[in-house]
Structure 1
């Protein structure tokens, strides 16, 4: 008889369940090793290209009545002292979209709560193509009070770093920049979005920081194939 991977048992479980669970646990152990291997490869990557230009954004203010809304800020100024990495999420909300992307909104709902922790280690910003007043109005609607929100309405950041296509289509990507010896370099993008995938398969390029799908994957029903987040839900 094979030795189990640990001694913990749960009420009423059968031997059949334990055998299957141990097989799954071994797969999870293998996955954990692979996840760390990928993270190690990511950390060992050389820096990419120099920042194309020191983009000028307009920023939102946490206080809706503040005169700081629309204040201009350069990408280089997003780096705080002692933190050499900058993550920028491209939020799918262009001027020709009536409402923002519900999936992006789901991601940002979670990141809003996590932001005080995130900012202890790295710099972070959310960039959308809409005018800053429109972004700020939606942020107030969602209760986003901790996300650093920027508008790229007057620069080419989105198209340069593939958060936007040449015809104005929006892509939900995360780009990472690093500062080395006073210079800013691009170092990472969630490029799984652009890689080949099986028919009907989501790119899963941002799943690492989107808890929703990881949580649903723990259930027998899984994430399913025909459900997506919505901006609002009917109250039961």
Structure 2
């Protein structure tokens, strides 16, 4: 830690200066959030199918009768034996779902791995959030969290193949990526009845997922900061006992 040690009075001057920057950043974030809420929507006209604990379901079923649906695209390739560590880190940061449900919003995970691979991993990690498989369908490709030119044109974070190559982002041109997508029922009465048009309002990738990482928000308050990139965190059941308990020698 290289923080200078100063008097309380000097610290207070620096803290007030930072406070003004924090307030400016929050005002900018409020403006972005408002623009996000005002985004136009696109009707989902494809019959996406998923496998879950109750068998095959459609996209409308994932709402569980609520008005809004948030899908976290969890990286879990069908060939893998366990889910991505960075997606697992994010899932560990999901709070009690009752609060989202109280705001008429459902949160689910969706991965391309077959459901028989997903369920044992979910149980191992101790997660309660609903998790569905999109295996064999177009969902991951259409929402650009799986790139395979044999299936669909390459696109990641709203950049096509040419733009990705130009920016040196070629690792994102093939395979799995994480992301979040938001859907809403076109009609509130239809949502309660379990049917009605589904609209896609928002998707985000890459650093856009930082907002969901509560651990990072806590670490951002500290002088040592984040310390690790998101993909450097392990599955939580693989930390040593001393590290998991917060004991460092």
Q: Normalization by structure 2: what TM-score?
A: 0.75
**Residues 31-70 of structure 1 correspond to what in structure 2 (within 5 A)?**
31-47=25-41, 49-60=42-53, 68=54
Distance in 1 separating the partners of 2:45 and 2:146:
16
The reply on whether 1:87 has 2:93 as its aligned counterpart is: no
**Residues 1-236 of structure 1 correspond to what in structure 2 (within 5 A)?**
14-47=8-41, 49-60=42-53, 68=54, 71-81=55-65, 83-111=66-94, 113-121=95-103, 122-144=105-127, 146-166=128-148, 169-181=175-187, 182-191=196-205, 193=206, 204-224=207-227, 228-231=232-235, 232-236=238-242
CA 1:74–1:222 in structure 2 vs 1: closer, same or farther (change >3 Å)? same
Shift of 1:225: 5.3
Considering fraction of residues, name the structure with more strand.
Answer: 2
On the 8 A contact 2:118/2:133 being kept in 1, the answer is yes
Where structure 1 has 5 or more consecutive residues not aligned to the other structure, the ranges are 1-11, 61-67, 194-203
Q: Normalization by structure 1: what TM-score?
A: 0.79
Q: CA RMSD in A?
A: 1.9
On the 8 A contact 2:81/2:117 being kept in 1, the answer is no
Superposed CA deviations along residues 44-80 of structure 1, whole A, max 9, x for unmatched, are 1111x221412110003xxxxxxx3xx1111012234
Distance in 2 separating the partners of 1:73 and 1:79:
11
Where structure 2 has 5 or more consecutive residues not aligned to the other structure, the ranges are 1-5, 150-173, 188-195, 243-249
On the 8 A contact 1:90/1:172 being kept in 2, the answer is yes
| 1:201 alignment partner in structure 2 | none
Considering fraction of residues, name the structure with more helix.
Answer: 2
On the 8 A contact 1:54/1:76 being kept in 2, the answer is no
Distance in 1 separating the partners of 2:200 and 2:8:
52
Shift of 1:85: 1.4
Shift of 1:224: 3.0
Q: Secondary structure at the match of 1:155?
A: coil
Count of residue pairs brought into register by the alignment: 201
Q: Secondary structure at the match of 1:58?
A: strand
